[in-house]
Amino acid sequence: MRIFFSIERAESLLPKLIRLLRQIRGEVALYHRWERDYIDNLREVIEEIESVGGILRDPKTGVIDFPAIRLGEPVYLCWRLGERRISYWHRIDEECSKRKIINPEEFYREEELTKYIVREREAIHEKEEYPDKIIVTIDLRGVAEKDIDVKLDGDNLKITWKNDEGRKTKLITLNKRLKNPSIRSEYRNGILTITIRKEPL
């Protein structure tokens, strides 16, 4: 799930990311001695970085991108281990080597970003299918957990929420009917994650 970051929200994650990147460097030092353990541990660290919305570009130098919005256009905030703050950005189709100095006035602050996400809600969701489950994520920043309702409606997952603009409903097609499905949802930091355990008909 792509999460769009304000500069301040991305910077709030830096202490955790610094710890994870230093852990990667420690794993690199052990690479030749325990190759299999190294690969497994590195994968776990990368998954943890990606779970908070960061994109690890280079484990050795510690370069991480954060999806953001600049002047209404999706871009990346770019940070490297050792930098005190997030001070650079680059376009989606550019390498990190092309990064430019940030002008904070060109980027949404957290409150403005929440309003943008509400306006563009239809595009900001993702569905992943696995043999035994379907995982759906949707960005509902600005919505209270008590105002969210999730249920299965035939072949569709029905998500209903209420915000300042009223009540809204989103139907996500699951492509196939499910036998004895179980559904679990988790709402954390504005991201709703729905896991549907499935037994195909």
Whether the model clears a pTM of 0.85, i.e. scores above it, the answer is no
Q: What integer pLDDT is reported at residue 36 of this predicted model?
A: 55
In a domain, residue 116? The reply is no
Q: How far apart are CA 125 and CA 113, in angstroms?
A: 16
Q: How confident is the model at residue 71 (pLDDT cuts 50, 70, 90)?
A: confident
Tell which of 79, 111, 143 closes a domain.
111
**Are 105 and 21 members of one domain?**
yes
**Are 46 and 23 members of one domain?**
yes
Q: What integer pLDDT is reported at residue 123 of this predicted model?
A: 41
Q: Indicate if the pLDDT at residue 14 is higher than 70.
A: yes
Write out the residue range of the structural domain in which residue 106 sits: 7-111
**Are 133 and 104 members of one domain?**
no
In a domain, residue 81? The reply is yes
In a domain, residue 140? The reply is yes
Q: What is the pLDDT of residues 83-97, one digit of tens each?
A: 999 999 999 888 999
In a domain, residue 13? The reply is yes
CB atoms closer than 10 angstroms to residue 117: 20
Q: How far apart are CA 99 and CA 76, in angstroms?
A: 9
Domain count, the chain: 2
Q: How far apart are CA 84 and CA 34, in angstroms?
A: 33
Q: What integer pLDDT is reported at residue 76 of this predicted model?
A: 93
In a domain, residue 95? The reply is yes
**Are 87 and 180 members of one domain?**
no
User: Among the listed ranges 24-28, 119-123, 143-147, which one has the minimum average pLDDT value?
Assistant: 119-123
**Are 106 and 127 members of one domain?**
no
**Are 107 and 11 members of one domain?**
yes
148: domain CATH number is: 2.60.40.790
End-to-end CA distance of the chain: 28
**Are 79 and 138 members of one domain?**
no
**Are 12 and 99 members of one domain?**
yes
**Are 105 and 33 members of one domain?**
yes
Q: Indicate if the pLDDT at residue 176 is higher than 70.
A: no
Tell which of 55, 79, 111 closes a domain.
111
**Are 106 and 33 members of one domain?**
yes
**Are 31 and 65 members of one domain?**
yes
In a domain, residue 2? The reply is no
Is pLDDT larger for residue 138 or for residue 98? 98
**Are 167 and 95 members of one domain?**
no
Q: What integer pLDDT is reported at residue 118 of this predicted model?
A: 61
Q: What is the DSSP string of 163-199?
A: ETTEEEEEEEE-SS-EEEEEEEEEEETTEEEEEEEEE
Distances (CA, A) of 41 to 35, 60, 126: 10, 15, 27
Tell which of 47, 82, 111 closes a domain.
111
